[in-house]
Amino acid sequence: MFFKNLLATDDPKQVKDVTRISESFKNIRANMMFALVGTNKEKAKIILFTSAEQGDGKSTSCINVAAAYADSNAKVLVVDADLRRPKIARYTNSDRKTTGLSDYLGGFCTLEEAISRPEGCNFDCLFSGRVPPNPSELLMIDEVEHMFEELSEKYDYIFIDTPPVGIVSETIYLTQFVSGVVVVVKKDSSHFKAVKESISLLEFAKANILGFVVNDAFDAKSKKYYYKRRRYYYYE
């Protein structure tokens, strides 16, 4: 499965060479499989996607890597843990008000009720749910650990989309539950100082950094895309 409109931009007209970019995500899948060798084989491999700044492409990278894994017949779940600026529902053409992670952690539904399979997808999703007033506190309750333990029994791979690591605290907290972390950076856009500080935070937390995904690394003939650097804020 391949989301041509998610690969590097929200605008599918900017992506011309779909096959080449699809192969890039398959290569990321292969490299991650090698990087994950030696981790817990009894339960799901849990991979956290983050970035140093907003707009680096972590959500699009997360969902396309997940789709690449699902194409290999693995049972895959994507978790949108970015409770401030959730994007996974929008990127899968799903209702943004769909029951999800915040509803489950808030005790408003069961885990089974919070998980859905978007139309046209070959993987399950645990969307963010309703935007809570206290996202950091909600993601730091004991139920989060129990949730990952339960999900690990049902899936082969779990991919978590999180807020930029240098902006909010919950991303670092979630690293204790994962097999590894992938940091997404954007060519000619990500600030070196911000990336360096993010790596330091992850290393201090003893996170297993699997590697980096460099977004927008096209040749000169390809169209470029960019996002302005701006404050991380809530969707309304």
Domain residue ranges of the chain, discontinuous segments joined by +: 17-215
Q: Give the three-class secondary structure for 56.
A: coil
Strands 209-215 and 76-80: unpaired
Quickly name the fold that domain 17-215 has: Rossmann fold (3.40.50)
Torsion from C-alpha of 200, 203, 205, 206, nearest 10 degrees = 180
Q: Which residue has the higher pLDDT, 55 or 236?
A: 55
Q: What is the mean pLDDT of residues 217-233?
A: 40
Residues paired with 126 in a beta bridge = 79, 115
What is the percent of the chain with per-residue pLDDT over 70, rounded to a whole number? Answer: 81
Q: How far apart are CA 224 and CA 221, in angstroms?
A: 9
- The model's pLDDT over 104-144, given as tens digits with 9 standing for 90+, comes to 999 999 999 999 999 989 999 999 998 888 888 999 889 99
Q: What is the mean pLDDT of residues 189-202?
A: 85
Torsion from C-alpha of 125, 201, 34, 185, nearest 10 degrees = 70
Task: Mean pLDDT check: name the lowest of 46-50, 89-93, 184-188.
Answer: 184-188
Calculate the average pLDDT of the chain: 82
Asked if the model's pLDDT at residue 222 lies above 50, the reply is no
Say if residues 88 and 128 touch (Cβ distance below 8 Å): yes
| Predicted pLDDT at 174 | 95
Q: Model pTM? A: 0.83
